[in-house]
Amino acid sequence: LKMFSKLSKMRTRDESLGVGETMMGRLIDGGAYTITRFHQRDNVTDGNIYVGAVNFADHAITLPLNDLPNNDKLKKTQVSNF
């Protein structure tokens, strides 16, 4: 419940979460995938890119990030743990 509360607050502050597109990564080892949320304007990624990693397996899985949208203006990266 705490995670959904934080996501709800973030959604009101960032256009990427409010009206952006969602892209689900491919399933890896039957239990892990990524969820990416971003905003595009005129076929260019605009603003922040949010990536969530989901792992239902009972062991660690390395997820590929090479399918993520490109953002040349991205200046910083932040990793959050909910």
Report the pLDDT value the prediction gives residue 33, as an integer from 0 to 100: 92
Q: How far apart are CA 75 and CA 61, in angstroms?
A: 27
Q: Work out the pLDDT band at 55, boundaries 50, 70, 90.
A: very high
Does the pLDDT of residue 28 top 90, yes or no?
yes
- Measuring CA to CA, how many Å separate 66 from each of 9, 35, 41, 69, 82? 28, 13, 21, 8, 23
Mean per-residue pLDDT over the chain, rounded = 79
Residue 53 has pLDDT above 80, yes or no: yes
User: What are the pLDDT digits (tens) for 40-51?
Assistant: 778 777 777 888
What's the whole-model pTM score?
0.68
